[in-house]
Amino acid sequence: MSIALLSIKYLSFSMMSVLLVSLLAGAFRQFVFLSVNLFFIGWLLGPISALATIAFCLLGFALVRIHLKWPALRLVYTLPVFVALFIYLRNYEILQWIFPPELLSSTLSTIGLSFLFFKIIHVLVDAQSNTLRKLEFLTYLNYCLNFTTFMMGPIMRYQDYFDQWHGHKQAIEPTYEAHLDAVLRILGGMVKAYVLAGWINGLALQADTNVLQLSFTAWLVQMYAFFFYLYLNFSGYVDIVIGIGSLMGIRPPENFNKPFIAQNISDFWLRQHRSLTLWLTDYVFSPAYKRALSSKRLGSHPVLAGNLAIMLTMIVSGIWHGTSINFLFFGLVHGIYLVIYHSWDHFLARRLGRKRLKQLRQHWLARTVGIVITFNAASFAFLFFQLDTAHLLQLFSDLLGS
Question: Which positions lie near other proteins, rule CB under 8 A?
Answer: 1, 4-6, 111-112, 114-115, 151-153, 176-177, 180-181, 183-184, 187-188, 190-191, 193-195, 197-198, 230, 233-234, 237, 320-322
Residue 112 or 335 having the CB closest to other proteins: 112
Q: Minimum Å distance from CB 368 to other proteins?
A: 30
Cβ 26 to other proteins shortest distance, Å: 33
4 or 212: CB nearest other proteins: 4
In contact, 392 and 382? CB cutoff 8 Å = no
Closest CA to 378 of 235, 238, 273: 273
CB of 188 to other proteins, least distance (A): 6
Closest approach of Cβ 182 to other proteins, in Å?
11
**Contact assessment for residue 251 and residue 171, using Cβ atoms and an 8 Å cutoff:** yes
Find, among 67, 76, 63, the residue nearest to 120 by Cα.
63
DSSP 202-214: TTSPPTT--GGGS
Distance CA 270, CA 278 (A): 8
CA atoms of 325 and 332, how far apart (whole Å): 11
CB of 269 to other proteins, least distance (A): 16
Quote the least distance from Cβ 271 to other proteins, whole Å: 16
Nearer to other proteins, 132 or 197 (CB): 197
Minimum CB distance to other proteins smaller for 57 or for 197: 197
Distance CA 53, CA 66 (A): 20
Q: Of 154 and 306, which has the nearer Cβ to other proteins? A: 154
Least Å from the CB of residue 248 to other proteins: 19
- CA-nearest of 293, 338, 294 to 312 is 338
140 near 29, Cβ under 8 Å? no
Got the DSSP string for 217-231?
Answer: HHHHHHHHHHHHHHH
Q: Give the span between the Cα atoms of 341 and 353, in whole angstroms.
A: 17
**Looking at beta carbons only, is 161 or 320 nearer to other proteins?**
320
Distance of CA 224 to the CA centre of its chain: 21
**Toward other proteins, which CB reaches closer, 162 or 283?**
283
